[in-house]
Amino acid sequence: MKTLTLVRPDDWHLHVRNGALLKAVLPHTARQFGRAIIMPNLKPPVTSVEQALAYREEILRALPQGMAFTPLMTLYLTGSTSVEEIGKAARCEHVYAFKLYPAGATTHSDAGIADVRSAYPLFAAMEKHDVPLLIHGEVTDEQCDIFDRERVFVDTALTGIAGHFPGLRIVVEHVTTREAVQFVESASERIAATITPQHLMFNRNALLAGGIRPHHYCLPVLKRESHRQALVAAATGGNPKFFLGTDSAPHLTSLKENACGCAGCFSAPAALELYAEVFESAGALDKLEAFASFHGADFYRLPRNTGTVTLTKTSWEVPAVYRGEDNVAITPLKAGEQLSWQLKV
Ligand code: NCD
Ligand code: ZN
């Protein structure tokens, strides 16, 4: 049997929600990953160190007995974030970054930043304290076509931020376009990007051709094939600026299969297996370990994990639905489909 053993990977962009949803989704991530950067877009958002510490406790309580997993907390940047809170976050051993959501860009982003330039004093504080800034890189201008929102953000906001704050470490989250990849590649080494499994596997036909597929709907939205190819080249090329961030974003099936469906793909149950398929079809399985287990840890200046995980070449079917307490039902990415790699437990 073909097997693949990697140093235990980390997920550098993850939504685990709270309450019953948290309990239902967390074990899937903890089974595979040593650590994850936890997104702060709860309702209400996690905006203070105090809230982040309380949320961290809730995550640790939801962890099944015997599972070792470390949540790396982030704070949600709002118009009322203070420079003091940034100093506090920098001194807190459990907070690793701030997340910038342009107001209205995605799920629970209404408390985000309406005008990126207004947040420059906050970026200056992050630069000073060396706290990374994680960016959802899309403009929210209603006049801007949804397929262009990332490219326009690169030109109108990201280039400015990167130029203005040469010492600020930035992760351009879930890149989806050739333009964002090129921006990251040509920027200094303190600028990196995460890439999701769905943007590596699918182009926008998977969302819209032959019927609308709500479980392929996420933000930034899937793009055309040439962009997907640029992402695969970036992820599998060995460049340390690109690392694994699933953006697994669970929503109840009833809220996805809806006249106004929520954005987000629940990829956590098969995350590593999905990436393995992508790397194998690109003939780059030898590059998977660095992408999944080294580049992110190095960027965040954390030690690499010490244990390992093993994948075997075994075909298995992704369950149609995952259930939890309080009638939680969540449809995973690739529900009911066959995968060719399986994580050994
Ligand atoms: C995320 C969510 O549901 O929280 N959705 C998504 O489509 N990716 C938010 C985000 O990361 O944009
Ligand atoms: Zn996200």
Out of 15, 37, 202, 207, give the residue to mutate to test ligand 1, the one with the largest number of ligand atoms within 8 Å of its CB: 15
Ligand 1 atom 11 nearest Cα: 247
Q: Residues 194, 201: contact at Cβ < 8 Å?
A: no
Which of ligand 1's atoms lies nearest the C-alpha of 101?
12
Q: Which residues line ligand 1 (CB under 6 A)?
A: 15, 41, 106-107, 136, 218-219, 247, 249, 263-264
The conformation of residue 295, written as its DSSP 8-state character, comes to: H
Q: How are beta strands 133-135 and 170-172 bridged, if at all?
A: parallel
Residue type, 331: T
List of residues 6+ apart from 109 with CB closer than 8 A: 41, 101, 102, 103, 136
Catalytic site residue from 141, 247, 298, 326: 247
What pLDDT, on a 0 to 100 scale, did the predictor assign at position 1? 66
Ligand 2 centre from 41 Cα, in Å? 8
Q: Assign 3-class secondary structure to the chain.
A: CCEEEEECCCEEEECCCCHHHHHHHHHHHHHHCCEEEECCCCCCCCCCHHHHHHHHHHHHHHCCCCCCCEEEEEEECCCCCCHHHHHHHHHCCCEEEEEECECCCCCCCCCCECCHHHHHHHHHHHHHHCCCEEECCCCCCCCCCHHHHHHHHHHHHHHHHHHHCCCCCEEECCCCCHHHHHHHHHCCCCEEEEECHHHHHCCCHHHHCCCCCHHHCCCCCCCCHHHHHHHHHHHHCCCCCEEECCCECCCCHHHHCCCCCCCCCCCHHHHHHHHHHHHHHCCCHHHHHHHHHHHHHHHCCCCCCCCEEEEECCCEECCCCEEECCCEEECCCCCCCEECCEECC
Ligand 2 centre from 247 Cα, in Å? 4
According to CATH, the superfamily of the domain at 10-306 is Metal-dependent hydrolases (3.20.20.140)
Ligand 1 centre from 41 Cα, in Å? 9
User: Which ligand is nearest the CA of 251, by number?
Assistant: 1
Ligand 2 centre from 134 Cα, in Å? 10
Active site residue 247: yes
Query: For each successive 10 residues of the chain (345 residues), what is the average pLDDT?
Result: 94 98 98 98 97 98 96 96 98 98 85 93 98 97 96 98 98 98 98 99 98 98 98 98 99 98 98 98 98 98 98 98 97 98 93
What pLDDT, on a 0 to 100 scale, did the predictor assign at position 97? 98
What pLDDT, on a 0 to 100 scale, did the predictor assign at position 108? 82
What pLDDT, on a 0 to 100 scale, did the predictor assign at position 257? 98
pTM: 0.98
What pLDDT, on a 0 to 100 scale, did the predictor assign at position 107? 78
Q: How are beta strands 191-195 and 170-172 bridged, if at all?
A: parallel
